[in-house]
Structure 1
Amino acid sequence: MARRTKRLWTDEEKRSICFQTAAPGVSVAQVARRYAVNANLIFKWLRDPRYAPDPALVLAPSEEARFLPVEIVAETKAPAAEPVAENRIEIDLAGGHRMRISGSYDPEALARLIRGLTA
Structure 2
Amino acid sequence: MARRTRRLWTDEEKRSICLQTTAPGVSVAQVALRYTVNANLIFKWLRDPKYRPKPGTGSEEAGLRFLPVEIIAEAAKPLAAPLADNHIEIDLAGGHRMRISGSYNPEALARLIRGLTV
- The normalised TM-score by structure 1 is 0.51
- What is the alpha-carbon distance in structure 2 between the residues aligned to residue 94 and residue 50 of structure 1? 25
* 1:25 corresponding residue in structure 2: 25
Could you tell me how far 1:92 is from its partner in structure 2? 4.9
Could you tell me how far 1:12 is from its partner in structure 2? 0.7
Residue identity over aligned pairs, in percent, reads 65
- The normalised TM-score by structure 2 is 0.52
Could you tell me how far 1:96 is from its partner in structure 2? 5.1
Deviating beyond 2 angstroms after TM superposition, the runs of 4 or more aligned structure 1 residues are: 94-97
* 1:51 corresponding residue in structure 2: 51
Could you tell me how far 1:2 is from its partner in structure 2? 3.0
Q: Deviations over 1:43-94 (max 9, x none)?
A: 000000111012121148xxxx7xxxxx6278xxxxxxxxxxxxxxxx7515
Judged with a 3 Å threshold, the aligned counterparts in structure 2 of structure 1 residues 25 and 94 are, in CA distance, closer, same or farther, namely closer
* 2:107 corresponding residue in structure 1: 93
Tell me which amino acid in the other structure corresponds to 1:34.
R
Structure 2: any 5+ residue segments left out of the alignment? 66-84, 89-104
* 2:6 corresponding residue in structure 1: 6
Q: Please tell me the root mean square deviation across aligned C-alpha atoms, in Å.
A: 3.1
- What is the alpha-carbon distance in structure 2 between the residues aligned to residue 95 and residue 12 of structure 1? 19
Judged with a 3 Å threshold, the aligned counterparts in structure 2 of structure 1 residues 5 and 73 are, in CA distance, closer, same or farther, namely closer
What is the SS of the residue equivalent to 2:33? helix
Tell me which amino acid in the other structure corresponds to 1:93.
E
What is the SS of the residue equivalent to 1:13? helix
Structure 1: any 5+ residue segments left out of the alignment? 66-70, 75-90, 98-115
Tell me which amino acid in the other structure corresponds to 1:4.
R
* 2:86 corresponding residue in structure 1: 72
Which has the higher Rg, Structure 1 or Structure 2?
A: 1
Judged with a 3 Å threshold, the aligned counterparts in structure 2 of structure 1 residues 19 and 3 are, in CA distance, closer, same or farther, namely same
- What is the alpha-carbon distance in structure 1 between the residues aligned to residue 50 and residue 43 of structure 2? 13
- What is the alpha-carbon distance in structure 1 between the residues aligned to residue 52 and residue 41 of structure 2? 13
Could you tell me how far 1:95 is from its partner in structure 2? 5.2
